Structure 1
Amino acid sequence: MPMLKTALIILFAILFFLSITALLLYRRQVRGLSEQLKDLEPGSNQRLTCSVRDRNILFLCRLVNTYIDSQQKLVLQAREAEEELKYTIASVSHDIRTPLTGASGYMQMAEKTEDPDKRKEYCRIVRGRLKDLEQLLDQLFLYTKLTSQEISLQMEPVSLFPLVCEVLTGFYGKFQEQNREPSLDFQEEAIQIQGDSSQLKRVLGNLVSNSLSYGLGTLFIVQKGNTLTFSNKVKDPGSIDPDQMFVRFYRGDPSRNASKSSHAGLGLSIARELTQAMGGKIEARLHEDILEIVLTFQGASR
C-alpha cells in the first residue's frame, strides 16, 4: 500500500507538472497570437503562426487566418475600386468636357457674328455637340445599370433579319455622308433568336456606329446559323487589340482619341454586357486589315 500511495503521488505530480506546462504553453501561445494580431497591419500578407501543435489552437489559428484573408481581399477590392473610380472620372470628365468646350466656343462665335447664316450654322453645330453630350450621358447611365445588374430584360423570340434592317435604316443618312453602304447576307431570313428586342437593337446599333466611326469601305453583315458577323476594313490594324476592344473606355485606334470624336469608348462595352446578359457571346477578330465582330445568340430557331 505505501508503494501504491507513493506511485499515485508521483503520477499526480507528473500530471500536475504536465498540466502546468501545457497551461503555460497555451498562455504563451495566446500571448504570441495577441502580439501577432497587434503587429498586423491592414493589407499585410503576414499570417498567424502557431508553435503549440494542439488541435483547438491550430483550428483557431486557421479561422483567424481565413478571416484575415477575407479582409485582405476586401482591402484589395477597395483599392481596385478606388483606382477604377479615378480612371472613370478622368475618362468621363474628358469626354464630357470635349462637347461642352466645342458648344461654348460656337456659342461665343454665334453671339459675335452679324451674319444670320453663320449664326444659324453655329447654332446647328451647338445642338449637335449637346446631342453628343446627351448620348454620352445616356451611355454612361446604361453602363452603370448594366454593371450593377439593375437592368431588366424581356426575353422573347425576336426575328433577327427585320431588326437588322430597321437598325440599318436608322443609319441611312450617315452611310450616305460617308459614301458607304452595308452588305447583308442572311442564310436564313426567317431565323429567330432569344433576346430583348429593344436591347438587341441597341447592341446592333452600337456595332454599326462603331463601324461608321472607325471603319472603312463596305460594312458586311453575315448571318450563319446562330452567329451574326460584322466586318469592315480598318485604318490602322496595328493599333487595335481585339482582346481589349470590349474593355470600358478602350480606344486602340488613335483616331478614336481625336477631339472631334464624341465617343466615350463605351459602345462595345455596352454591346458586350447586353449580349452576355441575354445569354449570348461577342468576340472580335482581326485578319490583316479586316476587323470582324461576331455575335453568337442563344435559342436560335427557324
Structure 2
Amino acid sequence: MLILICFFGILLLFAGFRLYLYGKQMREWTRQLQELSPQSNQRLTCFVRDKATKALCLEMNNYIDAQQKAVLKSQEAERELKYTIACVSHDIRTPLTGAFGYIQLFEKTSDEKKQKKYGTIVRQKLVDLEQLLDELFLYTRLTGDAFPMEISKVRLLPLLCEVLNEFSLSFQEQEREPLLSFEDETIEVLGDKQQLRRVFQNLISNALAHGTGTLYIEQKGASLVFQNQVPEPEKLHPEWLFQRFYRTDMSRQGTHAGLGLSIARELVERMGGQIWGERKDTMLCIKIAFAVRMKQEKENLK
C-alpha cells in the first residue's frame, strides 16, 4: 500500500512539474509574441521537448514566417505603386507641359509660319502622349492574369522586313540603316504574329532612340540578335534593361516611358521564348530565343 501511495505521489509530482513547464512555455511564447515586430527575424523558441509542443512551435513559426512575407510583400507593393505613380506622372506631364507651352506661343503670334510650326509641334507632343498611354495600357494588361495569345507558326524574315519598312523614314533622318543577316530565310517560329510585330517595333524603336550607327540583326537558328553601338556604354546595365521604367537617363528626358523593353520581355515570355541583353565593348546586344528550340538556342548564343 505504501509503495502504491509513493508511486501515485511521484506521478502527481511529475504531472505537476510538466504542468509547470507547459505554463512557463506558454508564458514565454506570450512574451516573445508581444515583443515580435514585423521586421524581426526572431522566432519562437521551445524548451519543452515533447513531440506535440515542438510541432506546435513549428506551426506557429511557419505562420509568423507567412505573415512577415505578406507584410514585406505589401510594403514592396506600396513602394512599387509610389514609384509607378511618380514615373507615370512625370512621363505624362512632360508632353502635356510642352504642348501647353507651344499653344501659348501659338496664341501670342500672328505669324502664320510660326503658327504652323507650333501647331506641328503640339500635334507631335500629343502623338507622344498617345504612345505613352498606349504603352502604359498594354503593360497593365500584360501584368494582369489574362492576355490572349494566338500562337501559330510565323515566318521571321517577312515580318521583320515589314516592321523595318515602318521605320524607314526614321533611319533616313538619322542617316542610319539596318543590316540583316539570315542563315535561313524560310525560318518559322511559334508566336503570336501581332505581338511579335510589337516586339520588333519596340526593339527597333529602342535602337533608334538610344543607339548609334548600323543596327545589325542576325538570325541564328530559331534566334534573333539585335545589336548596335551605344554612346555611353559604361552607363548601361544589361541586367536592368528589361525592368519597367528603366532608363540610362535618370532625369527621364525624352518621350518614352521606359516600358518598351519590359513589354517586349513580357510578350516574348508569354509566347514561350526568352529575351536578354548583353554588352560587348560599345555594342548592346539583345537576343531572343524563340519557343521552337529555346534552350538549345540560348546555349548556342552564349
User: Same-fold call, TM > 0.5?
Assistant: yes
Structure 1 residues 76-111: Cα deviation after superposition (integer angstroms, max 9, x where no partner) = 111111111121122111111111110000111111
For 1:68, the equivalent position in structure 2 comes to 64
Normalized against structure 1, the TM-score is what?
0.93
Aligned partner letter, 1:142? L
What is the distance in 1 between the residues matched to 2:24 and 2:277?
61
Where in structure 1 are there 5+ consecutive unaligned residues?
none
The corresponding residue for 1:281 is 274
Partner-residue secondary structure (3-state), 1:143 = helix
Higher-Rg member (1/2) = 1
**Alpha-carbon offset, residue 139 of structure 1:** 0.8
Q: Once the 2 structures are TM-superposed, how far is the Cα of residue 122 of structure 1 from its aligned partner? A: 0.9
**Which of 166, 186, 190 in structure 2 is aligned with 1:170?**
166
Determine the C-alpha separation between the residues in 2 that align with 1:119 and 1:88: 36
Q: Provide the C-alpha distance between the structure 1 equivalents of 2:37 and 2:283, rounded to a whole number of angstroms.
A: 52
1:257 Cα deviation after fit:
4.4
CA-CA distance at 1:178 after TM superposition: 1.2
1:77/1:88 Cα in 2 relative to 1: closer, same or farther (>3 Å)?
same
Q: 1:214 to 1:206 in 2, by over 3 A?
A: same
* Partners of 1:25 and 1:214 in 2: CA distance: 69
| Aligned twin of 1:122 | 118
Which ranges of structure 2 fall in alignment gaps of 5 or more residues? 294-302
Out of 167, 180, 192, the position equivalent to 1:184 is 180
TM-score by length of 2: 0.93
Q: How many residues align?
A: 293
Partner of 2:290: 297
Deviation at 1:187, TM superposition (A): 1.3
Match of 1:262 in 2: 255
Q: Residue 45 of structure 1 is aligned with which of 36, 41, 44?
A: 41
1:207-262 deviation line (CA, Å, top 9, x unaligned): 0001111111211111111111111111111111111111111112x4x8463x10
Q: Aligned partner of 1:296: which letter?
A: A
Amino acid at match of 1:68: I
Per-residue deviation, residues 166-201 of structure 1 (Å, max 9, x unmatched) = 111111111121121111111111111000111100
* 1:155 corresponds to which of 140, 151, 167: 151
Partner of 1:247: 243
Q: Matched residues in 2 for 1:229 and 1:267: separation? A: 17
How far does residue 147 in structure 1 lie from its aligned partner after superposition? 2.1
CA deviations over 1:136-160 (Å, ceiling 9, x no partner):
1111111122223331211111111
Provide the aligned C-alpha RMSD in A. Answer: 1.5
State the 1:36 CA deviation. Answer: 2.0
Shift of 1:41: 2.6
Question: What's the counterpart of residue 27 of structure 1?
Answer: 23
User: Residue 190 and residue 110 in structure 1: after superposition, are their counterparts in 2 closer, same or farther (change >3 A)?
Assistant: same
